[in-house]
Every structure is written in C-alpha cells, then in structure tokens.
Amino acid sequence: MKKLILAALALAAAFTSCKMENPLLVESPLEYGAPQFDKIKNEHYLPAFKEGIRQAKAEIDAIVANPDAPTFANTIEALEFSGETLDRVSNIFYNLMEAEANDEMQAIAEEVSPMMTEFSMYVSLNEKLFERVKAVYDAREALGLEPDAMRLLEKTYKGFTRGGANLSPEDKEVYGKLSEEHSLLTLSFNKNVLAATNAFTLDLTDEAELEGLPDFVVALGKQTAEEKGKEGWVFDLSYPSYGPFMKYSSRRDLREKMYRAYNSKALGGEFDNTQVVKDIIDHRIKIANILGYPTWAAYQLEERMVKTPEEVQAFIDELMAPSLPAARKEVADIYAFAKAEGFDADALMPWDFSYWSEKYKAANYSLDDSELKPYFRLEDCIDAVFGLATRLYGLQFTPRPDLPGYHPDVKVYDVKDADGRHLALFYADFFPRASKRGGAWMTEFRGQSIRDGVERRPLISIVTNFSKPTGDDPSLLTHDELTTFLHEFGHSLHGMMAEGRYHSLTGTSVARDFVELPSQIMENWAYEPEYLRGFAKHYQTGELIPDELIAKIAATKNYLAAYSQVRQLDFGILDMAWHGSTSVPEADTPVFEKSVLKPSALMPQVSGTCISTSFSHIFSGGYSAGYYSYKWAEVLEADAFSLFKEKGIFNTEVSGAFRREILSRGSSDDEATLYRNFRGHDPAPQALLLKLGIVKK
C-alpha cells in the first residue's frame, strides 16, 4: 500500500513538474495574460491538448454530476466558462498553424484532430448534460433572465440540437464518426493547398524575362531568389509576388505559366484535392441529413441573417442581373483597348486581364500602382490606420516590444480606450513567409469575457502578406493593400471593443453574414481625400500625395466594379452549388465547377484549372455556404457608410453609435435588430448597386 501511495505521489509530482514546464498549461505571468510565445515549443502542444481535454471533460462531468436542480448558473454559465485551458491551447495552436506552421505541427494537428472531435462529441452528444440544458431552457420564461443571459440560453440549447443531441444512440455514433472524418479531411485539404502553393516557383535568370516589371517587383523577385538560395529572380504564388507579376509582366507566356500554376493549386499531382473536395461534400451532406436538413447549406444558413438557400440565391440573382451585362461591357472595353494597342488574339484570356486592365487604367486614368506605392510606406499606413481608430473611437496604440510575438516580424501593441482603460493586446504580422498561408485575416488568441466579476480583455491578431522591405527600400503598399489593411483592422476593432459577459456572444462571434460589416465599412476611408491627405507622403521626399493623385484614386474607385462584383458572386455561386447539393456531383471536380460558372463566365474557361481545389474559405475555413456573406456585408456597409457621408466621415456621433450598436454588441441580440438599431431601417441591395455605379438613381 505504501508503495502505491509513493507511486501516486511521484506521478502527481511529475505531472505538476510537466505543467510548470509547459507554458500552455499555466496562466501566463505576462501583463494582460499575453501568451508566452518565446517559451512555447512544438513538444508542448500534444501534452497541452491532452491535459486541456482532460480538464474540460472533468468540468463537463462536474456539471452533469451536480446534485442540485439545473439552473442557469450551474448549467448554462458553467458550460460557457468550461474548457479554459483547452481554449488557450487550441487558439494558439490553430492560429499558428495558419501563420507559422511547420511539418511537425501538421503532424500534431492530424493526431489532435480526432481527439478534439471526440471531445466535441463528448459535449454535444452528452445526454445527461443536454437534459440539464433542456430543463433550464424549458423553464426560461420563468427565470427572469437578462437579455444577454436569455440569448446565451437560447443559443446553447440550439447548439445542442444542431449538434445532434436529439439523435438516437445509433445515429450519434454515425454522426461522431462522420464529424471526425470531416475534420481530418479539412486538415488534409489545407495541408495540400499550402504544400502546392510552396511547391511552385517561377525561376528567371534572363533579364529579358523581366520585361514590363517595375523596379519594386524586380527587387522583390531578387530578394525571393536570395532567400531561396537561387540565382536571378524568383516569383511564387504568394499574392505579393503573383499579383504584381500578372499585372505588369509584358511576357504573355510567363503570365500564362503563372496563371495556370496559381489556378491549378492542388489539382492533380502530389497534393491533389480533387477527391478531397468531393469527400468533404459527401461528409457534409451526410452530417446535414442525419441532423434533419436536406443540404449542408440549409443547415448552415439557419443561424445566419439570410436564413435559407433560396434567399441566398435570390440575393445573388438580384445583384447579378444588372452586374453581368455591365461586367461584360467592361471586359469588352479592355479587349478593344488591347487590340488597339497591338494585342493579337481572338479573345482576352484570364492571364491577360490584369495586365491589360492595368494598361487601360493607366491610359484612361493615368494611374498605376507603381505611381501610388511611394506614398504608402507601411509605417505611415500603420500610423494612419491606428490614427483613424483614434479619431473615430479615441483608441490609443502603444508598442510593447517587451511582450513576445510568435515570429520576429510580429509587433505587439497595447490598445487603450480614450479614458486610459486597457482594451486589448494587438498582434500585427504583416509579411509573407513559407510557413504562412496566403491572404489576410484577423483572429484572436483570447476573446473578451467577464467571469465572477473579473474581466478578461481580448488578445487580437491581424495577419497579412504585404511585400517585405527590400534592400534600402521600405515596405510600400499598393492602394489595394491599404484597403486590405483597413478591412482586417475593422475585424480587429470588432474584437478589441467587445463588451459583455459571455465570449460566445462578444466580438466577432456573430452571424457569418454579419461579421464582414465592421471590416468592409473601413475600406471606404481608403478612398476619402480628407483621410488620405492626413498621412500619404512620399517616402523619399516627404511630399504629401498630390491632389491630382487623390482625384485619380477617387475616379478609379468604381473601375471594373461590375467585373469585380461578378467574380465575387461567382465564388458565392460555386459555394452554394457545392453546399446546396443533395448528393455529391458525379462529374469530376473541375468539370462540375466549370458547368456551374459557365453562365456568368466573362472570359474563356481554361482547361487544367480549378478554383475549388484551393478554395480554402469554403473547404477548410468558416465560409462554407457563406461566401455570399461578403456581398451581403457590402450591402450593409454601403448603407451604413452613407450615414458617415451624410454627417461627416470623422463624425463621432455616428462612430459612437456604430460602436455602441454594432462593434461592442457582438451577438447579444439578433443581428438584424442590431443593424436596425444603428441605421433605423433594413438594408437593401440597391444601396450597393448605387454605390458601385452599376445602376443610377
């Protein structure tokens, strides 16, 4: 017996030692609980996940075993605040999987995925836990709950029913297996996209192959070559490399090569996603069916502002009807211009469009990115974006170099409100690298909540892929990149200014088709002369951006607006075609895709290319049956920003109302109600069509 006791004590001591050595398993001693990124190593993740799951299960078991009758506090709130350690571990791990991944982390993700799925099932299919939740829900009218508590109760109950709580034991087993397999499939999809993206480079050694490229693009190619240990110039499929190359290269053969590589990522070959796409769709249909929904889209949309696939289709059709003919005219104008300039081809191909549209813009608006970039030095843009938040909301950003980031490029800021109250830590990660996926996004390492009277403020992160400084030249943004910065910063403000008790109802935890409103409204300032004059200065001369350039920016605001709109609508159509299906399409993935997109095609479709195999937003991100929401949010922001235009773009009465009714409220009320409280009426697609100039008043 003594030996058993000694062994148990030794085991407990070993676990305590492990916990003390694992920075993921302890509350960070750094100010505001900032993650100890400088101490976190790959070997910490798996033990931390296992311990986090153990703790979370113990907390669930304690709720179930509580001998007291179910109450809001001992069941709903207890569930809301459970799993704190697991949340900390998973938020850090999965965010770094997107921004600072490596092969070891990929392997850990594959090992952890079934563990996390099993835990999710442990909660969502827990009959005794659901009995307690249902008991509180059934008595809700007599509980006298405050509005946020009632909202949490209703969402918790709905979450269980949507997660299979009402299924039979046999169906629960099938549901659990499908969910686990689905999780692994999305991981595999993402892994293939990253690997395929990194596998291709365009290696150039002849200066003649650089024809048409501005100095900043050539310098970027040179730097990439040096980083990869190659001679000459290297261009890859990260957007800061791919985008400018396609826009400026005079070599049509090389543009075609880049286009085909970019648009055939994970299509065939070693990192093939063609069958993975179908397998994901198959699992989603089966999951939806077992939960009582005809399609994955019907299941997903139930919790959105737009509630049904039919409503989504009607929304897309309403925008597409006037946009498609306008877009076809825009493409025809570009083609006519190219022909007049000596372009000798029967049709404009997709790899021609960026090049000739940029030439057309320069000829008709005398404006191109290389002319604007010197005025958008990254450091000045950072000050301007932060300054906009100061002017609208009173926020102050103070660098915190003493707090660690997860990569040397990451900068940390302490965000305080106008009264000096700490609001958030903000992590900014601007530059591309092989360990980071392409694109730009906002995320959080911790959300905002209040527990037992103690508030935890959020830890917010923004991730982009802006061009790195090259040699003596600083990082210079295109105007599009400035717009992207403002967009993701809008998401960040939504997280930073969250107020409420329950994390699942605060910040960006809102309906998918509402979450883009705070981000897309921020893009408007990138076109406002009054804003641009406040910061845009030439990085070499210090000269403020000339009024003529500002006028050209404003004039080009709606350049190719219909073309861009149709492309975005196409992504939404493709998303709904996959997720609105009642069965997996029989046709091969690229064949199915091309049939879906053919009616709205603006240029010839190219064999050997496919969007779906690398469409991470809908196959491994959170936008399945939700890509339309970008356009839905544009309708919201077009209507919302019109109030700023009416009252003044820096009007603090309007920004105060936007903060009070939108940014700080999360999902504490129905999102349609929140919008009406701010604007006084429901939005309509006409607002966006008018803003883009596609229809006239």
Residue 413 pairs in a beta bridge with 399, 426
pLDDT at 434 (0 to 100): 87
Euclidean distance between CA atoms 63 and 208, whole angstroms: 70
Residue 488 falls in the annotated catalytic set = yes
Per residue in 283-308, pLDDT (tens digit) is 999 999 999 999 999 999 998 999 99
Give pLDDT tens digits for 347-361.
Answer: 999 999 999 999 999
- Over range 449-464, report the average pLDDT: 96
Cβ–Cβ < 8 Å for 495, 508 = yes
Mean pLDDT of the 610-616 span: 97
CB atoms within 10 A of CB 662: 25
What tens digit of pLDDT does each residue of 125-147 get? 899 999 999 999 999 999 999 99
Q: What helix, strand, coil percent values describe the chain, rounded to 5?
A: 60, 5, 35
Neighbours of 546 (CB within 10 A): 12
- Give the per-residue pLDDT at 5: 42
Residue 615: pLDDT above 50?
yes
Range of weakest confidence among 99-108, 577-586, 658-667: 99-108
Q: Report whether pLDDT(6) > 50.
A: no
* Structure tokens belonging to residue 49: 């996940």
pLDDT tier, 20 (very low <50, low <70, confident <90, very high otherwise): low
- Chain centre to alpha carbon of residue 539: 31
Say yes or no to pLDDT of 3 above 70.
Answer: no
In sequence order, what DSSP letters do the residues of 63-131 get, joined into one string? Answer: HHH--SPP-IIIIIIHHHT--HHHHHHHHHHHHHHHHS--HHHHHHHHHHHHHHHHHHHHHHT-HHHHH
pLDDT band at residue 557 using 50, 70 and 90 as cut-offs = confident
153 to 156, 317, 694: CA distances (angstroms): 5, 36, 44
Catalytic residue among 180, 444, 488, 637: 488
The domains of the chain, with CATH numbers, are 22-124+126-166 (1.20.1050.40), 202-262 (no CATH), 374-561+629-691 (1.10.1370.40)
> What average pLDDT does the chain have?
94
215-251 pLDDT per residue, tens: 989 999 999 999 999 999 999 999 889 999 999 999 9
- Whether the predicted pLDDT of 17 surpasses 50: no
Task: Phi first, then psi: give them for residue 74, nearest 5 degrees.
Answer: -85, -5
Write down how long the chain is.
Answer: 697
Q: What is the mean pLDDT of residues 303-328?
A: 95
- Using pLDDT thresholds of 50, 70 and 90, give the confidence band for residue 369: confident
Give the per-residue pLDDT at 145: 97
DSSP string, 171-197: HHHHHHHHHHHHHHHHHHHHHHHHHHH
Average pLDDT estimate for 312-327:
97
**% of the chain beyond a pLDDT of 70:** 97
Distance CA 566, CA 573 (A): 10
Q: Determine the distance from the C-alpha atom of residue 106 to the mean position of all C-alpha atoms in its chain, rounded to a whole number.
A: 20
Buried b (16+ CB within 10 A) or exposed e, 268-281: eeebebbebbbbbb
The burial of 402, by beta-carbon neighbours within 10 Å (0-12 exposed, 13-18 middle, 19 or more buried), is given as exposed
- Calculate mean pLDDT across residues 62-82: 98
Percentage of the chain exceeding pLDDT 90: 88
